[in-house]
Amino acid sequence: MPSPETPPPAFAALRVRLKEIDDLDAAQRVLGWDQETMMPPGGAAARGEVLATLSRLGHERLVDDELLALLRELESWARERPREDDGAAIVRVVRRDVDRARRVPPELTAQLARASSDALPVWKQAREDDDFPAFAPHLERNLELRRRLAACFPETEHPYDALMDFYEPGLTTAAARATFAELRAGLVALIADVRAAEPPAPPGGPFDVDEQRALALEMARAIGFDERCWRLDRSVHPFSQSIARTDVRVTGRFSEHELGGLFAVLHEVGHGLYEHQQDPALDRTTLGTGVSMGIHESQSRLWENRVGRSRPFWSHWLPRAQERLPALRTLDLGGFLRAINAVRPTLIRVDADEATYPLHIVLRFELELALLDGTLAVADLPAAWNQGMRELLGVEVPDDRRGVLQDIHWAFGEFGYFPSYALGDIAAAQLWEAATADLPQLEDDLARGDASALREWLAARVHRVGRRLEPGELLRRVTGSTYDPAPLLRHLRAKFAELYGAPAR
């Protein structure tokens, strides 16, 4: 028998198969990026076909019997090795992916895809027309199919466990409920305090878009963007797509009227850095990528909010911003920070500030659970939405367009995805506490425009781990606990106390 130090021949055979699977995925990433940024509209139909073919070929390879046989052959070898050993992690994580993929019948996968693509145009029109009943049958169909998808994993305690697992491996509904209940209570109280004061207005423009782009690039470079391995392009909605560890694409969109585009670039560069700083040893293994949507979002939110809305960061960047954007010259650092950190409950999730954003997520999480449980009927969803917005944020929803119809996720049938956003906020705060404990000079660094120590800390503690550890394990190792909203609540209380003199509970 080979010693645990020498990978058995089956491991080399496994690696060959994983390269092929990873390459097919990389091709889809290029095609997806191109579709959003470059493709002329006439290319859409053909692109859909090509992407479907590549996706099918990748899936076929993942559920191939010979791959499973190789994994079985390697199991005892892998179990003798340390949990984070590359070989052990590859066998374990791929086995999990394979098992999950094999559980879903191809017919159901096809139905899910068809239901999404049928629902998408209907949702768009319904949102435009403020006509929830037009969308409702598609939402029913998506729910029904997702219930069937969840039923492929009967060992889970709650069907939502099975759905959330696609985005956040290992997180249970019970754990998420507890986390979100604590988050909800803390934020509702905090916001009630902060809202007493009239929030400062956001910085007033006009802001030249080319100057904003140049400034965003300067900031991005300070974080880790470099032209040898990165691109910044325009797209309708900002996003990040890593084609390879050394080929990372982020997009942005700037408006003359506000600075949201700057923060969006910081956000996307945070996502990109997570992929760029993966361990080369995991290249083409399917493990050299972000471990979950929640941890991914923690990286984007960390750079967008924890760095990008902080006093040290802007003490360096505000003078530079004022050179490029003269409209900012009327603000001093304190006024600018108050303006970019204003708390203002709003109707639209994607426009929400750092403090109110997670409550938009809590609402969606609670509604998804109720829909899946059957305790909430689709027909009653708009009323439940509006009631939730009233309770959580104190706002009245004037129409479904700005209410229950605002997000694309349910049109795609992606139940279980929304929690990732709030988990990202939570984890970002946990990681920030750990980073500042390890790096006492961090604020000084940022005030000098130097993000290298933070970047390297993230590489060592989070990025290079890839998918070797599950998100909960990773967080526990780095921060001492799994998802825990306390650091986020502490941060927000302290921050608003400083900015607005709100009571620090």
Provide Rg for the chain, Cα atoms: 23
Q: In the bound complex, what is the minimum distance in angstroms from residue 469's beta carbon to a copy of itself?
A: 24
255 strand-pairing partners = 258
Cα distances from 310 to residues 58, 269, 447, in angstroms, run: 43, 17, 10
Q: Which residue of the set 73, 140, 258, 268 is catalytic?
A: 268
Choose between 25 and 131: whose C-beta lies nearer to a copy of itself. 25
Kindly tell me which of 245 and 344 has the beta carbon lying closer to a copy of itself.
245
Give dist(CA 398, CA 378) in Å, integer.
19
Burial degree of 341 (CB within 10 A; 0-12, 13-18, 19+): buried
Is 20 noted as a catalytic residue in this protein? no
∠ Cα 224 226 231 (to 5°)? 110
For a copy of itself, the closer CB: 107 or 227: 227
Question: Which tokens is 242 given?
Answer: 């890593």
User: What is the closest distance, in whole angstroms, from the C-beta atom of residue 450 to a copy of itself in the complex?
Assistant: 23
Q: How far is the CB of 234 from a copy of itself (least distance, A)?
A: 13
Q: How far is the CB of 21 from a copy of itself (least distance, A)?
A: 10
**Residue 176 identity:** A
CB under 8 Å to 234, separation ≥6 — which residues? 37, 251, 252, 253
Shortest distance (Å) from residue 290 CB to a copy of itself: 17
* Contacting residues for 415 by C-beta, under 8 A, at least 6 apart: 142, 143, 146, 160, 163, 368, 371, 372, 409
Euclidean distance between CA atoms 264 and 315, whole angstroms? 20
Beta bridge partners of 241: 249
Q: Which is nearer to a copy of itself, 7 or 272 (CB)?
A: 272
- Of 155 and 227, the one with the shorter C-beta distance to a copy of itself is 227
Buried b / exposed e over 218-237, threshold 16 CB at 10 Å, is ebbebbbbeeeebbbeebee
Q: Which is nearer to a copy of itself, 31 or 447 (CB)?
A: 31
CB of 22 to a copy of itself, least distance (A): 9
> CB 4 → a copy of itself: shortest distance, Å?
29
Q: For 403-469, give the secondary structure using H, E and C.
A: CCCCCCHHHHCCCCCCHHHHHHHHHHHHHHHHHHHHCCCHHHHHHCCCCHHHHHHHHHHCHHHCCCC
Nearer to a copy of itself, 109 or 322 (CB): 109
* Distance (Å, whole) CA 96 – CA 86: 15
Nearer to a copy of itself, 231 or 490 (CB): 231
Separation of alpha carbons 274 and 296, rounded Å: 7
Residues 6+ apart with CB under 8 A from 65: none
Q: Is the peptide bond before 206 cis (omega within 30 degrees of 0)?
A: yes
User: Strands of 240-244's sheet, edge to edge?
Assistant: 230-234, 247-252, 240-244
Amino acid at 57: L
Q: For a copy of itself, which is the closer residue by CB, 277 or 305? A: 277
CB of 228 to a copy of itself, least distance (A): 5
**Which residues of the chain form contacts with a copy of itself (CB under 8 A)?**
19-20, 23-24, 26-27, 30-31, 34, 38-43, 45-47, 49-50, 53-54, 57, 227-231, 243-248, 283-284
Chain centroid to CA 314 = 25
Round to whole Å and give the CA distance between 59 and 76: 26
Nearer residue to a copy of itself within complex by CB, 13 or 229: 229
CB of 16 to a copy of itself, least distance (A): 10
Beta carbon of residue 11, minimum distance to a copy of itself (angstroms, whole number): 19
What span, in angstroms and rounded, lies between the C-alpha atoms of 123 and 126? 5
Looking at the annotation, which residues are catalytic? 268
